[in-house]
Structure 1
Amino acid sequence: MTEFDRRTLFKGAGALGAAAAVGAATSKAAPLAYADPAVGARAVSIAGTTLEAVGTPASTGVRQYRRLTAGAGWPLIVRSELAAAKAGRDDRRIGLASIVQTTDIHMVDAESPVRLEFIHPQNGSAFRPHEKLGAAATVTLIERINALGSAPFNGRAFDCVVSTGDNTDNHEFAELDWFLTLFSGGSLQQSTGDLNRYEGVQVWGSTLYWQPESSVDDIYKQKGFPQIPGLLSSSIKPISSPGLDTRWFSVFGNHDDSVSGVVPSGIGFIDALYTGNIKLDVPKNQAAIDRVATAYNTAPGSVAKVLAEQVQTGPIRRVTPDARRAPFTPRQYMAEHFRPRYTGPGPVGHGFASHAPQSGITYYSFQIAPGVIGISMDTTNHAGLTDGSIGQVQLDWMEKLIIAGSRKYHDRSGKLVTHEADDTLFVAFSHHTSDTMGLPIPDPEHPFERRNTGAQLLDFFHRFPNVVAWVNGHTHENKITPHRGRTAAQSFWEINTASHIDFPQNARVIEVNDNKDGTLSVFCTLIESAAPYEVAYSDHSVTGLGSMYREFSYNDTGYDPKRLGTSVDHNVELLLVKPN
């Protein structure tokens, strides 16, 4: 029986959309994308992955609120847009690399004075009802990764974990400590200010926020959110993380560099607000709320002025000041990764070069496995704003790195060059996606350096047949895109994965395999945390809090079904031509 005979070919949007879970919208199927019913036979093990089961909303609930349950696993979709899928490749397949991608962890200091939760109707990331449970939920994600230990298709033990940015939410030292402790192992307390009581907006009695411990009829309870006595008290208790068993690497995101991922650092008034005792309450009128939201969303340079005015007009709340809320710089971010208590399974510095805290170089390369090199890019704009770009100096460094590992490549003029070299496969990692890098504004440290867009970065990667994939986050969405070059050999895949903070809260196992037939297969398998899909609301263990974190994220008023992606963005085998 041929490969084509035993597969189900999908040509229409409806069939692919129907295979997606949790109400994802359908979309046009990519050519030659088909579901493989033999996934169980092809995999070493699908246990613990979304091939086995997926969190799915119950059919009914209180008002619009839904609890989650175990739904049918997502299928394996074979995507042969960039190379043909040849029969018998499973018998020849050799696993070259096994990677886990986590992204957009967003460790949140939910009591921080610089968080402006009242703009969440205009900017959903300003407040999430589940954000206080993030540390517990990340423990359950780490438990899942450790329990799996190896890739589902090639069976290779994980070579590394790569966290592709927005590891913190508001680039505070406290948030960075929590993230580094979670990944490296140790005890932490997701709280600032008065460590014995929660001082954030969820006890203020405002109907604009979920008030889990009171009977206030807030907009979340009107949707069906429960009242849970003691939840906030439980959320600030110390917890322990086992840390990852696998060495891990850290990538910059815009939230790791800017206030709320948008406003540039180093503004005196805002920096003082971080560590002070004033937190803005809900403004008295909608016009004031809109003014703050507009500044954050479209004119971040004006945020300091707008906030200063709002502090004067009020209303304000007094909170316990905390020096640990101070924002860090990119150099300080990298320096923290070198502290011995954060080494965990290594490597020391988690990818950053030993001189990086002094030089300010925020990008690096690392060996994933023999013959497979990772490139950690910094695509953030250090001048602020959400979208990204990449500096020319970084691009020149990448060019030299990839050329050194390429037997064939195209120079800047497009001419094919062949030289003596062993072909190395490259997997690039960044925070931003190709279509969220349209803001080439100058870097404050290098104001005269050219900045490049996502389209220019795509053109750059097309020059090198041994660039296999570009892996990223930022959009909080599952999306996998084929990028065709002028020749089949110049093509590669862009792999975008949903966040850990917003539903569906996925991480992704990425495997690079040599099919020994002139093609490579990159298997991508989504995973969820180890927390059960449903627990009693009285279960305030780490596991219970991790489960509620997922459930509340699905029911968040800011939930966007688009983030789920469709079948072609979930569990996939991505074919491409092997460089030769």
Structure 2
Amino acid sequence: MNVPYRFVKPGFTIGILIAVLLITVAVGAYPIDSKVVTTLDRTVLPVAVPSTSPAILPYEVSLYSNNGYGNWEYGDGLGYEKRLDLLSPLYNNTTGTNSGKLLRFFDMTDIHIIDEETPAQAIYYGYMGGESSGYSPVMLSTTQVLDAAVQTINALHKEEPFDFGISLGDAANNEQYNEIRWYIDVLDGKTINPDSGVKDDPVPGPLNDYQDEYKAAGLNTSIPWYQVLGNHDHNWIGTNPPDDYLKTNYTGEYILNMGNIFTDPSGIKSRGLYMGSIDGRTVYGEIIGVGNVSDFRTPPKVLAADPDRRVLSVSEWMGEFFNTTSHPMGHGFNRSDAEAGIAYYSFEPTPDMPIKVIVLDDTQPATDADAGGYGHGSLDQKQFDWLVSELDQGQADGKLMIIAAHIPVGVEGSGSSLDEYMAWSSVAEISEQQLLDKLHEYPNLILWIAGHRHFNTITPQVSPDPDHPELGFWEVETSSLRDFPQQFRTFDIVRNSDNTISIFTTNVDPAVKEGTIAAQSRSYGVAAMEIFNSTLPYLPSGSYNAELVKPLSLEMQEKIQNYGTPVIP
């Protein structure tokens, strides 16, 4: 590599230049498995922990493998379950055939890109048990998992192109600048240094530990991708707007002193527990500075402070999506709305297809009343009025409509202790029932997609009027890339010959290659599920593939009868 002399700045020594060149050459990329398939072809199945294995604690990562935690194998594929819940009981499902494909896209959600060395996290709530959202070792390698998912998407795109992709929120785990930059830079295909504070290298050499710099593949540049705001993108660990004490803590050295926000009525004003951090010099990400304040002689610190850990407001967070090399610029947001912190918008994926996507911000704003944390769903009157206007216009224009939001609406709880923190807010200006009642007025609304709860669930939002089944719509949730099963989804919307449409929704496991950091993360995800005794639907794989049939109004039956590329049997 020749470097002309005129490009060498004064004072830039030849020794420094050589060092820079050596670092550049050393940075490589992580490969994925050569076999890229969906869960239609194979599933990831946890291998049961032997009955003779002792119970271990979440932070005892070095004991996972030898005690049978985190093992997995490939299992058989999972076909589509045909769902007719929205249709009249008189519907005859034997006459229709798939005639024309209208749209193909993917969604991913709850990536939770984590700066594991930040002093402002909540490890205390999970390292001994409790909530895996507070701690599990998957937090060490979130950027590498995203990179593997992106490469998997690219491979699927070569086989059958996507019209677009959308990320449904919680891109960052803790609203930090460096977290959202890593996220966007992975999608843009930049060189990623997933380290903060001082440089750490637990295992000497390149591409062999979670702190190593690497070159992300980047999403195929022909795929436009869009972004949704999540509660973790603008709240401390997704639960509360940060106060001045928290904001100072993020960029400092001292590990956060916080009480138990789930039991103490003082919430984030409570004190008495050091929340802990990760020692990035260690192979297994050993925990430092966690426990009762009374157990420490002096306040614990992280290895180094870092100004890039600073908190981003919603406006600042949105602004980062204009610093990108992929498209569209802003990834759905426009500059004026970004300056105002308005994180909802609509777009039409393809100019020659009557389909409209409406993106909501249904997270709780800082101005919302605290009703047990800020992880609930919420809409204010202003956004609701905008939503009604968008739905009215889409219906009048004869467009099929999809709503994308971070938090689902009208779904049953999973039985988890976190359910009360994840449901629709009891103090929202627009109640959940008010929202559902309005949505059921639009026969062209076909789909609501969401994340937030970290598992794959499909809910039929059946029409309240049996004589008009077309007023129902499907709600599809997608699991997190952070926690098992670490999947994203593809969607294929197909016109049928019997005046219905089918939405084929398919789970996809990132095609991780054995020996890579992403593959290790999958093992950690399986182990965390086993150790925390997590309750997931559709075990053992956590996957659910379905053909979701939606009846159309007479007007839309006529309008779309000639749309779509032919479906090959």
Same fold (TM over 0.5): yes
Partners of 2:244 and 2:49 in 1: how far apart?
50
The Cα of 1:191 is off from its aligned counterpart by: 1.3
SS of equivalent residue, structure 1 residue 501? coil
Partners of 1:164 and 1:520 in 2: how far apart?
24
Q: What residue number does 2:267 align with?
A: 302
Partners of 1:166 and 1:276 in 2: how far apart?
24
More displaced 10-residue stretch of structure 1: 370-379 or 229-238: 229-238
More displaced 10-residue stretch of structure 1: 70-79 or 453-462: 453-462
More displaced 10-residue stretch of structure 1: 186-195 or 165-174: 186-195
Partners of 2:235 and 2:72 in 1: how far apart?
34
The answer as to 2:101 corresponding to 1:95 is yes
SS of equivalent residue, structure 1 residue 390? coil
Instruction: Judge conservation of contact 1:270–1:304 (CA < 8 Å) in 2.
Output: no
Instruction: Judge conservation of contact 2:358–2:390 (CA < 8 Å) in 1.
Output: no
Q: What residue number does 1:172 align with?
A: 176
Q: What residue number does 1:135 align with?
A: 143
More displaced 10-residue stretch of structure 1: 565-574 or 107-116: 565-574
Partners of 1:116 and 1:146 in 2: how far apart?
34
Gaps of 5+ in 1: 1-45, 199-212, 214-228, 282-290, 407-420, 442-449
Instruction: Judge conservation of contact 1:93–1:514 (CA < 8 Å) in 2.
Output: yes
The answer as to 2:93 corresponding to 1:86 is yes
Instruction: Judge conservation of contact 2:137–2:524 (CA < 8 Å) in 1.
Output: yes
More displaced 10-residue stretch of structure 1: 74-83 or 379-388: 379-388
Partners of 2:317 and 2:544 in 1: how far apart?
32
Instruction: Judge conservation of contact 1:186–1:241 (CA < 8 Å) in 2.
Output: yes
Distance 1:559 1:244, change over 3 A: farther
The Cα of 1:437 is off from its aligned counterpart by: 4.1
Partners of 1:367 and 1:70 in 2: how far apart?
38
Partners of 2:405 and 2:314 in 1: how far apart?
15
Q: What is the 5 A alignment of 1:227-238? A: 234-238=209-213
The Cα of 1:390 is off from its aligned counterpart by: 1.1
Q: What residue number does 1:562 align with?
A: 536
Distance 1:455 1:437, change over 3 A: farther
Instruction: Judge conservation of contact 1:77–1:567 (CA < 8 Å) in 2.
Output: no
The answer as to 2:110 corresponding to 1:110 is no
Q: What residue number does 1:479 align with?
A: 457
Partners of 1:300 and 1:328 in 2: how far apart?
26
Per-residue Cα deviation, 1:198-245 (whole angstroms, up to 9, x for no partner):
7xxxxxxxxxxxxxx9xxxxxxxxxxxxxxx99997211111112111
Q: What residue number does 2:253 align with?
A: 277
Distance 1:530 1:237, change over 3 A: same
The Cα of 1:176 is off from its aligned counterpart by: 0.4
The answer as to 2:230 corresponding to 1:258 is no
Letter in 1 for 2:526: Y
The Cα of 1:86 is off from its aligned counterpart by: 3.4
TM-score calculated relative to the size of structure 1: 0.73
The answer as to 2:354 corresponding to 1:371 is yes
Letter in 2 for 1:292: G
The Cα of 1:405 is off from its aligned counterpart by: 2.1
Q: What is the 5 A alignment of 1:201-240? A: 234-240=209-215
Partners of 1:549 and 1:85 in 2: how far apart?
46
The Cα of 1:512 is off from its aligned counterpart by: 1.4
Of 472, 481, 486, 1:500 maps to: 481
The Cα of 1:292 is off from its aligned counterpart by: 2.6
Per-residue Cα deviation, 1:168-188 (whole angstroms, up to 9, x for no partner):
100100100011111122111
Letter in 1 for 2:259: V
Of 253, 259, 279, 1:292 maps to: 259
Distance 1:184 1:301, change over 3 A: farther
Distance 1:549 1:300, change over 3 A: farther
The Cα of 1:317 is off from its aligned counterpart by: 2.2
The answer as to 2:407 corresponding to 1:426 is no
Partners of 1:401 and 1:467 in 2: how far apart?
11
SS of equivalent residue, structure 2 residue 269? helix
The Cα of 1:116 is off from its aligned counterpart by: 2.5
Per-residue Cα deviation, 1:272-298 (whole angstroms, up to 9, x for no partner):
1100011259xxxxxxxxx833x1x25
Partners of 1:388 and 1:464 in 2: how far apart?
21
The Cα of 1:439 is off from its aligned counterpart by: 1.2
Q: What residue number does 1:470 align with?
A: 448
Per-residue Cα deviation, 1:71-128 (whole angstroms, up to 9, x for no partner):
11112111111124634644x5211111101010000111110113122123221111
Q: What residue number does 1:68 align with?
A: 72
Aligned residue pairs, count: 455
Letter in 2 for 1:271: K
TM-score calculated relative to the size of structure 2: 0.75
Q: What residue number does 1:516 align with?
A: 497
Letter in 2 for 1:470: W
Partners of 1:565 and 1:488 in 2: how far apart?
31
Q: What residue number does 2:131 align with?
A: 123
Q: Alignment identity in percent? A: 27
Distance 1:230 1:88, change over 3 A: farther
SS of equivalent residue, structure 2 residue 259? helix
SS of equivalent residue, structure 1 residue 324? helix
Instruction: Judge conservation of contact 2:455–2:542 (CA < 8 Å) in 1.
Output: no
SS of equivalent residue, structure 1 residue 365? strand
The answer as to 2:296 corresponding to 1:317 is no
SS of equivalent residue, structure 2 residue 67? coil
Distance 1:554 1:453, change over 3 A: farther
SS of equivalent residue, structure 2 residue 120? coil
Letter in 2 for 1:170: N
Letter in 1 for 2:147: V
Letter in 1 for 2:234: D
The Cα of 1:336 is off from its aligned counterpart by: 0.6
The answer as to 2:317 corresponding to 1:333 is yes
Distance 1:179 1:314, change over 3 A: farther
RMSD over aligned Cα, in angstroms?
A: 2.7
Partners of 1:494 and 1:169 in 2: how far apart?
24
Q: What residue number does 2:23 align with?
A: none
Letter in 2 for 1:375: I
Partners of 2:265 and 2:540 in 1: how far apart?
34
The Cα of 1:150 is off from its aligned counterpart by: 6.7
Instruction: Judge conservation of contact 1:480–1:569 (CA < 8 Å) in 2.
Output: no
The Cα of 1:469 is off from its aligned counterpart by: 0.5
The Cα of 1:500 is off from its aligned counterpart by: 0.6
Instruction: Judge conservation of contact 1:77–1:573 (CA < 8 Å) in 2.
Output: yes
Q: What residue number does 1:412 align with?
A: none
Of 151, 164, 167, 1:163 maps to: 167
Gaps of 5+ in 2: 1-34, 51-65, 276-291, 367-372, 412-421, 556-569
Q: What residue number does 2:365 align with?
A: 382
SS of equivalent residue, structure 1 residue 452? coil
Of 369, 374, 381, 1:392 maps to: 381
Distance 1:195 1:233, change over 3 A: farther
Instruction: Judge conservation of contact 1:169–1:260 (CA < 8 Å) in 2.
Output: yes
